[in-house]
Amino acid sequence: MQLHIRKGEKKDLPGVLELIHELAAFEKAPDAVTNTIKEMEQDAFGVQPVFEFHVAETEGRIVGITLYYIKYSTWKGRGLYLEDLVVTEKYRGQGIGKKLLDVFMQEAKAMGAKQVHWQVLDWNTPAINFYKKINASIEAEWWDCKMTEEQIIEYRFET
């Protein structure tokens, strides 16, 4: 298998979104993805890009991605947040995820990141084992907090 990992381009976004949909189905939320190629194009290649990505290609097809962005910790400084590391099911277990992670970590080192951060579902045993194997810390102490678009719209400001 000839595998090529490279920085993502606009032309890759349909394949990237396909993998995002596959991930959502794997994570038992197949209808949760509302993002579009047009929005992703603006967010990755517009005036103020907010994310970057790498793709893993083989046989003319995108089979894996890392999608990430800069984060900042007031305690540690600059870092990268790995939003998604996805390898399509047919190609899992062949080292593609590790190669994608290697390229992501090269980006972190090149920018002088003080930390990298990502999340994993507590039932995703293969991913948890992979992260333990690379000596990542898996913390149970911090809870994930978020607000949906609807919650943001409904947010009440103090007046």
Residue 159 has pLDDT above 90, yes or no: no
Q: Express each pLDDT in 28-49 by its tens digit.
A: 999 999 999 999 999 999 999 9
CATH of the domain at 8: 3.40.630.30
- How many whole angstroms separate alpha carbon 22 and alpha carbon 99? 20
Domain with 12, as residue range(s), is 4-154
What residues contact residue 38 under an 8 Å CB cut-off, 6+ apart? none
69 given a catalytic annotation: no
Q: Which of 69, 72, 81, 131 is catalytic?
A: 131
- pTM for the model stands at 0.92
The position carrying tokens 């990502």 is: 118
Number of domains in the chain: 1
Q: Express each pLDDT in 93-152 by its tens digit.
A: 999 999 999 999 999 999 999 999 999 999 999 999 999 999 999 998 888 899 988 999
Q: Residue 149 falls within a domain, yes or no?
A: yes
Q: What are phi and psi of 63, to 5 degrees?
A: -115, -5
Q: Express each pLDDT in 34-87 by its tens digit.
A: 999 999 999 999 999 999 999 999 999 999 999 999 999 999 999 999 999 999
